[in-house]
Amino acid sequence: MKNLYNILVLITILFTSNFVKSQDDILSKINEIGTLEQKVMMPMRDGVRLATDIYIPKTNQKVPIIFSRTPYNFNSWGDGEEKNRTHQRAYEALKKGYAYVVQNERGRYFSEGEWDILGTPLTDGYDAFSWMSEQSWSNGKIGTLGCSSTAEWQMAVAALDHPSHAAMVPQGFGAGVGRVGDFFEQGNWYRGGVEQLLFSTWLYGVEHDKFKPRIPEGATQEDLIRISRFYDLAPENPTVDWSESIKHLPLQDLLKNVGGKKEIFDKMIVRKPNDKDWYNGGLYHDNMDFGVPSFWFVSWYDVATTPNIALFNHVRDNSVDQYVNDNQYLIIAPTLHCGFTRATENTIVGERSVGDARLNYDEQIYDWFDLMLKGKKNDFKKNTPRVQYYTMGSNKWQNSEVWPPENTEMTTFYLSSNGSANTMYGNGKLTTVKRKIQNKSDSFLYDPMDPVTSYGGGVCCMGNAVKGGAFDQQEIETRDDVLVYTSEPLNNGFEVTGFINSTIYLSSDVKDTDITIKLIDVYPDGTAYNIDETIQRVRYREGYEKEVFMESGKVYKVDLSQMSTSNYFKKNHRIRIEISSSNFPRFARNLNTGGDNFNESKGLIARNTIHHSKKYPSSITLPIVK
């Protein structure tokens, strides 16, 4: 036992010393080519100061700035990957002639004020741009860069059109999108009017308690640097088994049940999709202008793929500034949330290999910044397609001038069965011939206390509750509350690239329920990989401004929010969709009562019926490349 203890101590010492050495190495490299100012307290217009680290290249020339604002911890001492990554990003920027500025959002770590996810004042971004552009070493051009929470604030600030905000590279940015077109995601809080539970687990891990230790107001930069060597103000929460804890009801007590900080969650969980408070914070909505050239990064297996692409299209078509319209570019990678640089020669997403999905991301990003921030006459526009997207199945990068590509044809597949599409062993079929629809219906019982389990998909930040990516869905398809509709084996392979529409005709014996749909690529050996999925709360079938409940026995048309993909279905593969009423815990369960849902603990079992006939042609429409 003593020997084991000694071995563990030795491993710890070696790991720590190696990490410190790597930290020292990168800092040494930074000091050779630049200077680092730490804990600069940048003032906002209301007097709140935001903790900022500034890396400046050693040069007599004024330089452009790459700016990253984040809720995450980048304190430069101690352990942690984020701190080392910050130094590495800064070093790369310095080598290429940029200043690199990283700042904590208000209320985070050493930044003053109160933090509010999705509610940070837009003026913070604007004030930061003004301060940076006025520095003696700045050339007045600022580009913003970041993924996820480090990207989400960029869109709404872009609507303010600060004269120095010259370019953006937002990656995995769905949490900053409020309303765009038919999507009322409100920062990924909703999909189709259903709560996405990722924020429950994410807030538990990152939210600082209102009773946290605080640095006294007015602390000097010298004091802050000294203190930060010993205290990084990062909370360390007890581990939670989210695979079990996320089942707790009522939903509004989810964080309270695990001893989490619940102030922000409590406030947001009661908001409905069109609550006015969604429009008072840091979200971008499509009634706002957009003033910044942008290079957007999206993933096929992310929480907001389709709304993110929809925002790219919206900005490109609707900015009042033609220069901004003409300078929008998009990359869609076959990865998980913020997993762009993790592609390898054999990229595995979940369980599925999608081949060599590598791309020269960093080279393209710096060419973009060189063009927009330095005015460098390079070949970015000549070499960079408007849209670069990866097609899974054929496993190759492709490009297009528009999204979806012009050479697609919307092809409708109709649901059909002999009245028993339940499970993969049922008789559910997909047909492109409307006259072949069998005038039947398929029913299943949806019990909120025994929901269909989420297995893969576009997820983020859910701990051990859900893994993201493509997984074999056959076990899920043995459940009687999952309807399965499958095409015949394909005589010829074809590519599906673009937005996917689905219309389902439903009747139920409850006032409200959900419809879920999942698109599947079925291999000849039966392996069934999920491609994309979505959900719709039926009370919002006529829009998110009102709730319209069902009457028992009546048939209702439900248009689900769009899915999207680029996937090549090979010869002898089959196309499949799953229909159910739950996909938990990615999405909150509908308790079927017609009540508020978030404050309820008991549900009703719903008998839901999917209709398919000439009168009620339930269908999915795929964009097939000609």
Three-state DSSP at 24 gives helix
Weakest-pLDDT range from 224-228, 348-352, 381-385: 224-228
Q: Which range has the top average pLDDT, 9-18, 203-212, 557-566?
A: 557-566
d(CA 220, CA 236): 26
Cis preceding linkage at 170, omega within 30: no
Average pLDDT over residues 586-595: 98
d(CA 611, CA 440): 7
d(CA 620, CA 560): 10
CATH number of 2-186+273-287: 3.40.50.1820
Residue of 298, 316, 89 whose CA lies nearest to 173: 298
What are 496's strand-pairing partners?
A: 567, 624
The answer to whether 385 and 588 are in contact (CB under 8 A) is no
The answer to whether 580 and 520 are in contact (CB under 8 A) is no
d(CA 337, CA 339): 5
The answer to whether 328 and 312 are in contact (CB under 8 A) is yes
**pLDDT band at 7; cut points 50, 70, 90:** very low
Weakest-pLDDT range from 15-19, 53-57, 281-285: 15-19
pLDDT of residue 485: 98
Asked if the model's pLDDT at residue 217 lies above 90, the reply is: no
pLDDT tens, residue by residue, 70-122 = 999 998 665 555 567 899 999 999 999 999 999 999 999 999 999 988 667 78
What are the DSSP E strand ranges found in 138-244?
138-147, 165-171, 177-180, 183-184, 190-191, 194-195
Cα dihedral value 260, 262, 266, 269, nearest 10:
-50
Tokens of 45: 């217009």
**pLDDT band at 232; cut points 50, 70, 90:** confident
Weakest-pLDDT range from 232-236, 377-381, 402-406, 489-493: 232-236
| C-alpha 386, offset from chain centre | 21
159 φ/ψ sector (left φ>0, alpha ψ -120 to 50, else beta)? alpha
Q: Which amino acid is at 193?
A: G
pTM of the model: 0.94
The DSSP line for 165-179 is EEEEEEES-GGGEEE
Distances (CA, A) of 379 to 46, 366, 367, 382: 43, 12, 8, 5
The whole-chain average pLDDT of the chain stands at: 93
**Angle, in degrees to the nearest 10, between helices 2-33 and 81-95:** 20
Average pLDDT over residues 520-534: 98
**pLDDT band at 268; cut points 50, 70, 90:** very high
The answer to whether 519 and 583 are in contact (CB under 8 A) is no
d(CA 520, CA 409): 19
Three-state DSSP at 496 gives strand
Tokens of 329: 């570019």
Asked if the model's pLDDT at residue 17 lies above 90, the reply is: no
Neighbouring C-alpha atoms within 13 Å toward the C-beta of 587: 30
pLDDT of residue 10: 45
Who contacts 125 (Cβ-Cβ below 8 Å, separation ≥6)?
Answer: 69, 153, 154, 157, 160, 162
Q: Which residue in this structure is represented by tokens 């990865």?
A: 335
Three-state DSSP at 510 gives coil
Q: Where are the domains of the chain?
A: 2-186+273-287, 408-625
Distances (CA, A) of 573 to 437, 496, 519, 520: 22, 13, 13, 10
Residue of 203, 214, 202, 212 whose CA lies nearest to 261: 203
Provide the b/e sequence for 519-543 (b: ≥16 CB within 10 Å).
bbbbeeeebbbbbbbbbbbbbbbee
d(CA 537, CA 539): 6
Asked if the model's pLDDT at residue 526 lies above 90, the reply is: yes
Cis preceding linkage at 213, omega within 30: no
pLDDT of residue 76: 64
d(CA 331, CA 359): 10
Q: Which residue in this structure is represented by tokens 């996320």?
A: 246
- CATH class in words for 408-625: mainly beta
pLDDT tens, residue by residue, 399-455 = 999 999 999 999 999 999 999 999 999 999 999 999 999 999 999 999 999 999 999
**pLDDT band at 281; cut points 50, 70, 90:** confident
